[in-house]
A and B are shown apart, each in its own frame.
Chain A
């Protein structure tokens, strides 16, 4: 086995470019392992733990690119390093063809696009404040996708933004829509009259996709970042976003999507919601809904979309556990007919943090405590929800919405566990996400079910897909791929979580389905 590495000084590449090149190198003949990373301290650790560090790679600084290849021969390793050069050159060529000019600074970019009004920033966290502050000081709105930005930096940036009445969407803002244009991970949705303010990327994606499925559209979706409603940030950007939607003539209904606000923020938030002057639907996952008052409170992302659309159409609406209880009853009967030999645990493997959070909130009243990396509690209960997009899973690795392989491996592992009866997964489609997330997951589901069957057990896989017919991955194609692997695909994350609960607790059927089990 031969290990070779090279360092290209001052050669910056973004994390997606690096992931694509590393993936391509691993596909080359006689290559066992390959890495393409910037020389940050975290990446040096990652290389060392993968056994790919060399004396040369260790000398790389944060602005230097490291390529490391382990192959069956020196020749194969050399060939892979050569191939990497071509891959980066091809990528650069594609970019130059598409966007033509590539200025080095914000100011020179402004010279090329003098009427620019928004800067989209997705640089590594430590540099996010520098770039975002610079944009705000030049009077530009900011979409800040970067994560790992210190809370103090966020407070400072948003203070600067508010003082200039500019939007600072993020940090850690995965998705936004302005005037029909999707930013970040965005589903393809029609323009319409529902305006959203979201402290959650996948939450916003889920709501706008449900709205699109109900044949309504989105005016704007203003992301504010997951920490905006914390005590430290104080909900300042949510306040500004609500004000913007209140004044916007396109927007007729406003939806707020978040986790529970900090107690100190809740009062001012409720006051701001009441002042919007348009119908408002509030979905603060985990916050008990208020009854009465000008704001319609709901408990799931699906309900937020349904309530908003019903409000827009002036129709009555009440929440339901399942959109088609009869079909769920039939599904449940089929699952129960398979075999009784099945683990008692629900094991959720999520790419969307808010979807994981929502699933846990819905499961706990039905199956009891659920352990999770989202927060304490539920240890030893036999039920688990993992948010695989959490920081601890993405250090030096791409987010699972971009790279489905890490989750696929965990789905396969689940097939070996006698304690697991149900695997619960989400799939998030949209622009910039993986081109075919269902493919690797469906293959893993088949393997896991075969493995469980070999042990005389049955494993149920329950899935939901956030996406629209217009998404590049194709909603129906992705669902078909999952169903071909015998996954039960439900119309929403909430319904998937409830169905997962029914599989391990069929005695809940009367209350959830409104009929005898």
Chain B
């Protein structure tokens, strides 16, 4: 994926959060998958920060 494709390819969307947005996209004929989201790390901010760091480190 790159900047050049952002506007030239039709959107295919993964929706995380408000389900109304997935339903609107679905109704408009846009390919969409809605994630059944829960707060990561059970909503524990310290655990979340740790997870974030781990994912960032993986990347490096």
Please report A residues at the B interface, Cβ cutoff 8 Å: 10, 12, 14-17, 61-63, 91, 94-95, 98-99, 101-106, 109-110, 112-113, 115-124, 126-127, 129-131, 133-135, 137, 139-141, 145-146, 165-167, 178-179, 181-184, 186, 219-220, 240, 243-245, 247-248, 250, 431-432
Assess whether A432 is in contact with B21, with CB atoms less than 8 Å apart: yes
CB proximity of A445 to chain B, nearest CB, Å: 28
Number of A-B contacts (CB under 8 A): 182
Quick one: which of B3, B38, B43, B52 contacts A243, CB cutoff 8 A? Answer: B3
Assess whether A165 is in contact with B2, with CB atoms less than 8 Å apart: yes
Assess whether B21 is in contact with A130, with CB atoms less than 8 Å apart: no
Q: Mark B34-54, 1 if CB is under 8 A from A, else 0.
A: 111111101101001001100
How long is the Cα–Cα vector from A95 to B37 in the complex, in angstroms?
A: 13
Assess whether B5 is in contact with A117, with CB atoms less than 8 Å apart: yes
Assess whether A244 is in contact with B35, with CB atoms less than 8 Å apart: no
Q: Which residue of A lies closest to B43 (CB)?
A: A62
Chain B contacts with A in 1-52, Cβ cutoff 8 A: 1-28, 30-40, 42-43, 45, 48, 51-52
Assess whether A133 is in contact with B17, with CB atoms less than 8 Å apart: no
Q: Which residue of A lies closest to B22 (CB)?
A: A99
Assess whether B42 is in contact with A63, with CB atoms less than 8 Å apart: yes
Assess whether B21 is in contact with A183, with CB atoms less than 8 Å apart: yes
Quick one: which of B7, B10, B13, B31 contacts A120, CB cutoff 8 A? Answer: B13
- Jot down 17 A-B pairs with beta carbons below 8 A, ordered by A: A63-B42, A63-B43, A99-B34, A112-B33, A116-B12, A117-B9, A120-B16, A123-B17, A126-B45, A135-B14, A145-B17, A182-B28, A183-B11, A183-B13, A183-B25, A219-B7, A431-B28
Contacts A62-B43, A115-B12; A104 near B35 (Cβ below 8 A): yes
How long is the Cα–Cα vector from A341 to B31 in the complex, in angstroms?
A: 58
Assess whether B39 is in contact with A184, with CB atoms less than 8 Å apart: no
Quick one: which of B1, B2, B52 contacts A129, CB cutoff 8 A? Answer: B52
Assess whether B36 is in contact with A104, with CB atoms less than 8 Å apart: yes
Assess whether B38 is in contact with A103, with CB atoms less than 8 Å apart: no
Assess whether B35 is in contact with A109, with CB atoms less than 8 Å apart: yes
* B40 proximity list for chain A (CB < 8 A): 127, 130-131
Assess whether A99 is in contact with B48, with CB atoms less than 8 Å apart: no
How long is the Cα–Cα vector from A10 to B33 in the complex, in angstroms?
A: 22
Q: Which residue of A lies closest to B52 (CB)?
A: A130
Please report B residues at the A interface, Cβ cutoff 8 Å: 1-28, 30-40, 42-43, 45, 48, 51-52, 55-56, 59
Assess whether A118 is in contact with B17, with CB atoms less than 8 Å apart: no
CB proximity of B12 to chain A, nearest CB, Å: 5
Assess whether B14 is in contact with A178, with CB atoms less than 8 Å apart: no
* B30 proximity list for chain A (CB < 8 A): 181
Quick one: which of A15, A95, A115, A181 contacts B28, CB cutoff 8 A? Answer: A181
Assess whether A12 is in contact with B5, with CB atoms less than 8 Å apart: no
Contacts A105-B35, A117-B12, A121-B16; A133 near B55 (Cβ below 8 A): yes
How long is the Cα–Cα vector from A113 to B16 in the complex, in angstroms?
A: 14
How long is the Cα–Cα vector from A139 to B51 in the complex, in angstroms?
A: 19
How long is the Cα–Cα vector from A14 to B35 in the complex, in angstroms?
A: 12
Of A10, A102, A127, most B-chain CB atoms within 10 Å: A127
Assess whether A103 is in contact with B35, with CB atoms less than 8 Å apart: yes
Q: Which residue of A lies closest to B35 (CB)?
A: A109
Q: Which residue of A lies closest to B16 (CB)?
A: A121
Assess whether B17 is in contact with A120, with CB atoms less than 8 Å apart: yes
Contacts A113-B14, A120-B14; A141 near B1 (Cβ below 8 A): yes
How long is the Cα–Cα vector from A260 to B54 in the complex, in angstroms?
A: 38
Assess whether A119 is in contact with B13, with CB atoms less than 8 Å apart: yes
* A95 proximity list for chain B (CB < 8 A): 19, 22-23, 34
How long is the Cα–Cα vector from A63 to B45 in the complex, in angstroms?
A: 12
CB proximity of B43 to chain A, nearest CB, Å: 4
Q: Which residue of A lies closest to B45 (CB)?
A: A126
CB proximity of A19 to chain B, nearest CB, Å: 11
CB proximity of A198 to chain B, nearest CB, Å: 15
How long is the Cα–Cα vector from A62 to B42 in the complex, in angstroms?
A: 8
* Inter-chain pairs besides A63-B43, A116-B13, A121-B17, 16 sampled, C-beta below 8 Å: A63-B38, A94-B23, A95-B19, A95-B23, A101-B33, A117-B1, A119-B16, A123-B37, A130-B52, A141-B6, A179-B10, A181-B11, A181-B28, A183-B25, A244-B4, A431-B24
Contacts A16-B20, A184-B21; A134 near B55 (Cβ below 8 A): yes
Assess whether A119 is in contact with B14, with CB atoms less than 8 Å apart: yes
CB proximity of B5 to chain A, nearest CB, Å: 7
Assess whether A102 is in contact with B34, with CB atoms less than 8 Å apart: yes
* B16 proximity list for chain A (CB < 8 A): 106, 119-123, 131
How long is the Cα–Cα vector from A97 to B56 in the complex, in angstroms?
A: 36
CB proximity of B56 to chain A, nearest CB, Å: 7
